[in-house]
Each structure stands twice: as structure tokens, then as C-alpha cells.
Amino acid sequence: MSFSLAIVGRPNVGKSTLFNRLVGRRLALVDDQPGVTRDLREGEAKLIDLRFTVIDTAGLEEATDESLQGRMRKLTERAVDMADVCLFMIDARAGILPADEVFAEILRKRAKHVILAANKAEGHAGEGGFLEAYSLGLGEPMRISAEHGEGMGELYDILRPLADGYDERAQAEAPEVDVELTEEEQELGEEAGVSRDFTAEKPLQICVVGRPNAGKSTLINKLLGEERLLTGPEAGITRDSISVTMNWNNTPVRVFDTAGMRKKAKVQEKLEKLSVADGLRAVKFAEVVVVLLDVSIPFEQQDLRIADLAEREGRAVVIAVNKWDEETDKSNKAKELREEFTRLLPQLRGAQLVTVSAKTGKNLDKLEEAILYAHQVWNRRVPTAKLNTWLSAMTEAHPPPAPGGRRIKLRYMTQVKARPPQFVVMCSHPDELNASYKRYLVNGLRADFDMPGTPIRLFFRSQADKNPFKNKTKSVPSRLRKHLGKGRADEKKKW
């Protein structure tokens, strides 16, 4: 990435629409309702041959107190400070409003470089607002339409020289490094650095999910060590699924913050439906899902649904109980939580349960260890020889059922996939094998091959019958064929 571009402006001027166009995907939620975007969302933008980081920001509000709008403004101002270029967007159809003049003054003082864009300028309706944009004193505005893609060529012409300047500066500031290595260093590098599980391009994908106001954004901010995500006492602040990157002991990690998921019957507004759908999509792309609970009301029915969803999607699951600093009777509460977890979520038996405090940072190191361990188990593979030895011992200890007096034979077993572990057992009459015996085998796999908590997929298939004469009629000998033919001809003459 050569430079970063922050898109700023009043609410509902089309910032998220332009962001989606630059990244080439519908990452940011877009709606006619103003104030949809609240957090800073970063994406890898592509404009012809330019590659840069684009930042979608919340709509600039005039509030400066500790209200929700005031906290959103602080995040936007932070994006202005850290971005190399600011694209100040106005609504050409609405014209210049007093708020635009206030924010233009802020950008003149704080931004390194400002580009003025008049959005929704297609047709004659935006002509007046485009001409008014000259009065802001930010140079010549450009006419764009984020929805229809108009003006992207002009934006490229403005960004091209800026990108060249940042590339030259980065090369000049880069220190010279001697890359020649000794023979010992090369051998160590070949042994230790070839098989890295995670890289900056493909980091460990983690998704934090839970009910509203469980503390998901606060937890991620604590892990990052900075106030990157918008937080507060209000429930339902997060709307988009925001991803942030970090390093855990040299392990690249990408964490997704999701919107709080309420019961389906309570979700009526279109915007909340879009937010929940965005969170569910993040669960599907994650490798490890952290289900965050509130210690004051843990394991509510919605928490169980969310955990079951992660298990059905085949993700590694870690249960984190937040606000542990507010609990007075910690020892009895911890015992109660583990008993409820075992009773209410048997499909995740053995999964890690960690008590944390996103506010104070307590036990976050244990949470990191639990996530890395859950991912390790999720990737586990078992050799076929060990599986078949284990299968023989399991069937001897507890033989399969015999429906109708016919014993089901489990012939052999193999692992066909990891992430999550998936096994196939070749057997006779797989359709007649009951669910209790399947659970018996799955629980045995968890216990004997150290796979606690991870989803296990076990499939039963019938072995193909090798009899070549099955479902075929008897053949007639050739010496009888002519007599049969003569007899049929005589029968036809009679008729």
C-alpha cells in the first residue's frame, strides 16, 4: 500500500458507497438512513493501477461531548490525523450546509492533503451544489457519482502524482539492510521458517460474537492496546463487522468485531437485519469463534443459539465470560459456569471456557492461549492406521446395534478432511445406524485423540458391492436360443 485515503464528510453523503466501489466489494453497510457507519473501516482499494488503503469514517457531527455522536466524531478526527490524504465529500444535491463549512475549517488545520469531491453530481440536479463547493476554499472540486462510478478517472488523475510522491518518500526513508546470511543462519531458516502456519497475507481469522452490550468492542480494543473501535454504555453501537489486525507473539491475527445478535423475533428494522447478516457472514469466514457472554446473565437462550451456530458452521469455538471484575463470588461462579456449559452445550464438550475482563485486561493472556489451542485442535489429523485400531477396540467394547437381527459391520475408517476434523466409516447398512452409537464414536474420538471442543463430522457410507452379476437377469444358452425363437414365431402365426 503506497498511501492511505480517508473518506470524510457529513452523514449520508455517500462515503460508504464510494468505499465499496473502491474496494470492489460490498464491505460497508449502505442505507438511506443517515449515520449507518460508526466505526472506522479499512479496506484494500484498487483504482486502475493504484493500490492504497481506504478508510471509511462515520459522518462528521458537530457534537464534541461524550455522547455517541461526540465519540464518533473523535474517531473520524483520528482517521483525519493518521491518513495521508483526506477525500472531503459533500452532497451536490443538498448544496453546502453550515456543517460542511465547519468541517472544511477542521480539515484545513489537521489534514495533510485534502481532495474535495461533490457526490451525487450526475445530471442537472447537482450543478448548483457543485458550484457552491468552490466557496469552501479547498481548491477545485471534482464531480463524482459514487453509486454510478462517474468521476473515477478524475480521482485517479489526482491521486496518481500523490501516490508517486509517497512511493519515492518510502524508498528514501527505508533503511538499507544487508541480506547476506551465514551458512548457519541459512540452515536455521530452512528448518524453522519454511512451515509457518500464519502469515501477514493469511493471518489467523478470529470472530467475536455475542449479544448486544456484552463488551465485544471493548475486548478487542484491550487486545489492540488502543481505542480503535467505538464503545460506550449504549447497546447495539457496532453495526458493521469491522476487522482489525494485530500480532500475538509473532502470530499475525485478524479479529472481526460483529454487531450484537438479538433474538430473531426482536429484529425488525432493516438496518439491524443487515448488521446481523454481516456478523453471520463473518462467522462463516472465521477460523476461531469467540462467543462472549455477560457474567451477570450467562448462557441465555440467545447465547446458546450463537454457540450452536458456530458449531454448525464447523468453526473452532472458545467461550469467554466477560465482566469478571464485577463478580464477587468468583470461585462458586466459575464452578457454576462450567456445570452449565457442560449441561447446555454438550455438542461443544471440552471447549475452552475463559473468564476475562475487557475493562481491566484480566486473563486476556489465557484467552489468547485458548484461541491458539482451539485452532490447533481444529487442524488435527489422525493417521488411518491408528483410527482403524481404535475402531476395532471401540466395536469390541460396545458392538454396533443389530436391527432386525442383522449386525451392522464397521469395516474401516479414515479421516478425509481437517478444519474441522471429518471422518468416514465404511460399513454395512449405514442408514440403520442409530444416533446414540454415532455419539458414542464421536465422544470416543474427542477423548482418545485429544480433540476437545472442536466440531467433529462423522459420516457412514456403505461399501460398494463387488458382485458383477448383481441386478442382472439370467443369460439364455445359445443352443436353446434358436428353439425359443422358433417357438415365438409359431405363436405369432397362431395369432
Specify whether 232 is located in the same domain as 332. yes
Closest CA to 289 of 402, 423, 42, 455: 455
Asked if residue 406 belongs to a domain, the reply is: yes
Specify whether 388 is located in the same domain as 355. no
- The answer to whether the annotation marks 10 as part of a ligand binding site is yes
- The answer to whether the annotation marks 120 as part of a ligand binding site is yes
Look up cell 462450567; give the residue.
338
Average pLDDT over residues 172-188: 38
Q: Which domain holds residue 30?
A: 3-171
The one-letter amino acid code at 36 reads V
Residues comprising the chain, all counted: 495
At 21-80, the pLDDT tens digits run: 998 877 776 655 665 665 677 888 889 888 898 888 877 776 666 776 777 777 788 888
Asked if residue 368 belongs to a domain, the reply is: yes
Structure confidence at residue 268 (pLDDT): 47
At 409-464, the pLDDT tens digits run: 888 899 998 889 999 999 888 888 888 999 999 999 998 998 988 899 999 988 65
Burial class (CB within 10 angstroms; exposed 0-12, middle 13-18, buried 19+) of 244: buried
Domain C-terminal end among 171, 196, 220: 171
Specify whether 201 is located in the same domain as 60. no
- The answer to whether the annotation marks 13 as part of a ligand binding site is yes
- The answer to whether the annotation marks 259 as part of a ligand binding site is yes
- The answer to whether the annotation marks 122 as part of a ligand binding site is yes
Specify whether 157 is located in the same domain as 233. no
Structure confidence at residue 88 (pLDDT): 92
Highest mean pLDDT among 282-286, 320-324, 466-470: 320-324
Q: Is the separation of the CB atoms in 444 and 394 below 8 Å?
A: yes
Structure confidence at residue 15 (pLDDT): 87
- The answer to whether the annotation marks 155 as part of a ligand binding site is no
At 394-414, the pLDDT tens digits run: 999 998 888 877 788 888 899
Specify whether 198 is located in the same domain as 167. no
Average pLDDT over residues 456-474: 68
Query: pLDDT at residue 483 above 90?
Result: no
Average pLDDT over residues 470-490: 56
Q: Cβ of 106: how many Cβ atoms within 10 Å?
A: 17
- The answer to whether the annotation marks 324 as part of a ligand binding site is yes
Band of pLDDT at residue 190, cut at 50, 70 and 90: very low
Asked if residue 485 belongs to a domain, the reply is: no
Q: Is 157 helix (H, G, I), strand (E, B) or coil?
A: helix
Strands 50-56 and 41-47 come out as antiparallel
Specify whether 153 is located in the same domain as 240. no
- The answer to whether the annotation marks 101 as part of a ligand binding site is no
- The answer to whether the annotation marks 93 as part of a ligand binding site is no
> Count of domains in the chain?
3
- The answer to whether the annotation marks 334 as part of a ligand binding site is no
Specify whether 427 is located in the same domain as 354. no
Domain C-terminal end among 318, 351, 379: 379
- The answer to whether the annotation marks 57 as part of a ligand binding site is yes
Specify whether 44 is located in the same domain as 144. yes
At 200-223, the pLDDT tens digits run: 788 899 999 888 888 888 898 888
Structure confidence at residue 38 (pLDDT): 59
- The answer to whether the annotation marks 236 as part of a ligand binding site is no
- The overall pTM is greater than 0.85: no
Structure confidence at residue 65 (pLDDT): 64
- The answer to whether the annotation marks 453 as part of a ligand binding site is no
- Domain containing 353 — which CATH number? 3.40.50.300
Domain C-terminal end among 114, 143, 171: 171
Asked if residue 471 belongs to a domain, the reply is: no
- The answer to whether the annotation marks 16 as part of a ligand binding site is yes
- The answer to whether the annotation marks 443 as part of a ligand binding site is no
Structure confidence at residue 251 (pLDDT): 85
- What is residue 253's DSSP assignment? E
- The answer to whether the annotation marks 121 as part of a ligand binding site is yes
- The answer to whether the annotation marks 213 as part of a ligand binding site is yes
Specify whether 68 is located in the same domain as 200. no
Specify whether 209 is located in the same domain as 160. no
Structure confidence at residue 180 (pLDDT): 38
- The answer to whether the annotation marks 212 as part of a ligand binding site is yes
- The answer to whether the annotation marks 322 as part of a ligand binding site is yes
Asked if residue 477 belongs to a domain, the reply is: no
- The answer to whether the annotation marks 217 as part of a ligand binding site is yes
Structure confidence at residue 74 (pLDDT): 78
Q: Is the separation of the CB atoms in 292 and 208 below 8 Å?
A: yes
Structure confidence at residue 186 (pLDDT): 37
- The answer to whether the annotation marks 104 as part of a ligand binding site is no
Averaged pLDDT of the chain:
80
Specify whether 292 is located in the same domain as 350. yes
Nine cell digits for residue 436: 446414540
